[in-house]
Amino acid sequence: MNEIIRKNLTNIYSDDRDFQLDAFVYLLGITEKHVDWAYEVWDEMLASFSHKNNRVRAIAAQILINLVKSDPDQRFMADFKALLAVNKDERFVTARHCLQSIWKVGLVGKDQQQLLVSGLEHRFHECAEEKNCTLIRYDIIQGMRNLYDEVGDEQIRSKALELIATEDDLKYHKKYAGLWKST
């Protein structure tokens, strides 16, 4: 890992929001493709899921999501529960940032895809009594749509439609179903 990457990783912990944002944007960009330093920061990102600053938690989750494509040892498979836990963060904005990005792990391979869809299905059902249930469910269905659009796996589409069918509130049923109209 070079100096610039390390500096940006350090800056995600900065109290200066501009430094933090610049570092986040840089790291997201560089991790869009395979990197050879993923395991050098893997545990640091996992540990940051419990950082006192919710912005750091959200950044760490999104960086780890991007690092999954650089995970030949499939460490992610064992760490998936920790990432799912960020989707229940005490700060809803943190949980939502993670939830809106998590679909990307399904692009890595079939094992990751199956784990992801199963985790999202579980989250869809368990959020029923939460304050922001409808937003959580919308983000889950949108993430499944994003994944489907990229990989074209009919099982993803079927699972999303199955989840939508369980929504009793007609308003939200229509809203979720609207994400799948063009398929």
- At 101, the amino acid letter reads S
**Cα maximum dimension of the chain:** 53
* pLDDT at res. 182: 77
Give the whole-angstrom CA distance, residue 72 versus residue 21.
Answer: 29
pLDDT, one tens digit per residue, over 120-154 is 999 999 999 999 999 999 999 999 999 999 999 99
Q: What is the CATH number of domain 1-88?
A: 1.25.10
Taking 70 as the pLDDT cut, the residues of the chain under it are 183
What does the domain layout of the chain look like in residue ranges? 1-88, 109-183
